[in-house]
Chains A and B, each alone.
Chain A
Amino acid sequence: MHAINYESPKTIDEAVKLLAAHGEKARPLSGGTDLLIQLRAGTRRPDFVVDIKHIADLCKISFSAQHGLSLGAAVPCLEIHENPHLRRHYPGLTEAAHLIGSLQIQSRATVGGNLCNGSPAADTTPALIALGAMARIAGPGGERTVPVEGFCLSPGRTVLKPGELLVEFQIPAPAKYSSDAYLRFIPRNEMDIAVVGVGVALTLDPANDHVVAARIALGAVGPTPIFATQAVQALVGKKLDDAAIANAGTLAIAAATPIDDMRGTAEYRRHVVGVLTRRALAIAATRAKASA
């Protein structure tokens, strides 16, 4: 590995100053489970590594039933999964956090890092998109907020400009009769990168099983995570029966633009998008009904 400098600022301001001062030569270090591998492989060669885990605001989880969830970008995945409130109100997100790598990885890896790494296969990103999460970004020019589905631009590239730092996710409070689910397909039972990931969030009308609101996001089947808007539009206002679920699966497949690689063929991935969308919708529906 090339030589690096290590900095560990205590505040967002300090971090932004450091990042802005060094521009492309600086890279924030969160859990490090992707960054250290990239440094060793030489695929990223920053001169400055800025450890953001000493910034208190980035390590906070705050949840209220009224305001929803503020999730610091540097909270490790295991802490998310261990949080009983999050497990109850955002089971899909906590599942996604609990699927990343091993427990050793989850002890370090963060949802913010997962997103900023820009991999289309990031497990937590579809779960965040499904929940309608917003990414709060601090920068030399002040703050801005971006919907997570608009965060990734291409593999490894995001909307973050030099000097900018992802601070937290803002996730709306769960509506009544709503829930989420995240499923991914991997060849083994653990330790693999998603071949396909599907996150869904649903709000149901308990009187007639109609879909009040829905969001579906797909991972690993395009250059960025995909927000499957047509699949969602087809669901809203409809009764969530087998035919509606099957139709949503078909429309999710249509939204996917996968490639052939060592993790699966495009053909296979499209098929599995349909399978997981159907399964995830069924799980989210069951949870939504049980949530009240």
Chain B
Amino acid sequence: MVHKVIVETTINGDPVELLCEPRQSLLEVLRDELDLTGSKEGCLTGDCGACTVIVDGRAVCSCLMLGAEAAGKHITTVEGLANGATLHVLQQKFLEHASLQCGICTPGFLMSAKALLDHNPNPTEGEIRYALAGNLCRCTGYDKIVKAVVDAARHGVGASQHGKVPTESTAEVTRDILEREKR
């Protein structure tokens, strides 16, 4: 006989106590038990990043973590990104730059970008592209997503903390990639 487990966790700043089956992933728990459907299911294998949430400061695929493993953790989902009715600078920049088309990948990209900027408020374009490489977008070709994150770092998160403007051309990013392969 398999028993359900009680999980005490913190989600978007609020303490949550929930009951789930051990086989339920964190993604299932968020979506099916807590009705937090902002985290999306795209692949269930950790390859698309649509289910990305932040667990104790790190971006993770919520499809590859059991709900039971959330015990004692601090979890942030896309629903917890805005400050009340005020959008997070990343959300605002995604809207301004038309960074979403269908929008299914957007929550995952926002959470990966937030995890990046929380650790590194002034990333280069190469660092941004690396940090977002675990999130697939099929609509945009990534151009407007990357620009939004660069802009958010420059005028939002990064600017307020350091005032340093990250500058890097695409040619430099590409060079970085080529170097990485050949080194």
- Interface, chain A (partner B; CB < 8 A): 1-6, 8, 29, 31-33, 36-37, 39-40, 49, 51, 53, 78, 101-105, 107-108, 181, 183, 189-191, 279, 283
Contacts and interface: CB of A to CB of B under 8 A. Distances in A.
Contact of B22 (A49, A101, A107, A191): A49
A104 B52 contact: yes
A33 B45 CA distance: 8
Nearest to A283: B183
Interface of B: 2-3, 5, 21-23, 25, 44-47, 49, 52, 55, 58-61, 63-66, 68-69, 71, 112, 115-116, 130-131, 133-135, 177, 180-183
A5 B2 contact: yes
B39 to A, nearest CB: 12
B64 A32 contact: yes
Contacts of A181: 183
14 contacts: A1-B23, A2-B23, A3-B23, A5-B2, A8-B68, A33-B61, A33-B64, A36-B65, A102-B46, A103-B58, A104-B49, A104-B134, A107-B55, A279-B182
B60 A107 contact: yes
Contacts of A3: 2, 21-23
A1 B63 CA distance: 13
A5 B183 contact: no
Nearest to B71: A8
B134 A4 contact: no
Given A36-B63, A49-B22, 5 more contacts: A3-B2, A51-B66, A101-B46, A104-B59, A104-B134
B64 A102 contact: no
Nearest to A280: B183
Contacts of B5: 6
A181 B181 CA distance: 12
A181 B21 CA distance: 43
Contacts of B23: 1-4, 39
Nearest to B59: A104
Contact of B133 (A5, A53, A189): A189
B60 A108 contact: yes
A104 B61 contact: yes
Given A36-B64, A190-B133, A283-B183, A107 B177 contact: no
A103 B21 contact: no
A190 B142 CA distance: 15
Nearest to B177: A189
A5 B55 CA distance: 23
A31 B63 CA distance: 12
**Most chain B CB inside 10 Å of its own CB: which residue of A6, A32, A36, A40:** A6
Contacts of A32: 64-66, 69
B64 A105 contact: yes
Contacts of B61: 33, 102, 104-105, 108
**Most chain A CB inside 10 Å of its own CB: which residue of B46, B61, B71:** B46
Contacts of A107: 55, 58-60
Given A4-B23, A189-B177, A104 B46 contact: yes
